């Protein structure tokens, strides 16, 4: 238990010391400079990973192209109709569960 506490304190102290040495606790200009430097060093690796793992027609990398307003309204209407009929399809199951719960509650009430 004591060893774990010592390790935690050492990690926190090391983190504070390292950020102090890097200048994170100085003015905001130094911190923004550190951020821009880190971003410029990481960007080539990020681009390389995007090129390696994402295809050019992949929607996750480029995002879907926006639809015209009329098409998006039609899609929204169709989705709403589908969800409504799916709910109607599940309605007998919901009613059966409700009736079973009510019947069980009444049986428990009269058994006591």
Domain positions in the chain: 67-112
pTM: 0.34
**In Å, how far from its chain's centre is CA 2?**
36
Structure tokens at 13: 């102290």
Q: Residue 66 to residues 45, 55, 59, 73, 77: CA-CA distances in angstroms?
A: 29, 19, 12, 12, 17
Q: What is the pLDDT of residues 58-105, one digit of tens each?
A: 555 556 666 777 777 888 889 999 999 999 999 999 899 999 999 999
CA separation for the pair 110, 92 (Å, rounded) = 27
Query: How far apart are the C-alpha atoms of 23 and 26, rounded to whole Å?
Result: 5
What is the biggest distance separating any 2 CA atoms in the chain, rounded to whole angstroms? Answer: 75
Higher per-residue confidence, 40 vs 27? 40
């Amino acid at each position: 238990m004591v060893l774990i506490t010592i390790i935690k304190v050492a990690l926190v102290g090391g983190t504070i010391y390292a950020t102090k040495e890097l200048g994170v606790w100085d003015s905001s200009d130094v911190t923004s400079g550190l951020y821009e430097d880190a971003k410029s060093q990481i960007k080539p690796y990020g681009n390389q990973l995007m090129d390696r793992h994402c295809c050019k027609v992949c929607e996750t990398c480029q995002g879907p192209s926006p639809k015209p307003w009329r098409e998006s309204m039609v899609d929204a209407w169709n989705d709403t109709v589908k969800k409504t009929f799916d709910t109607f399809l599940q309605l007998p199951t919901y009613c059966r569960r409700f009736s079973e719960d009510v019947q069980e509650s009444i049986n428990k009430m009269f058994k006591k």
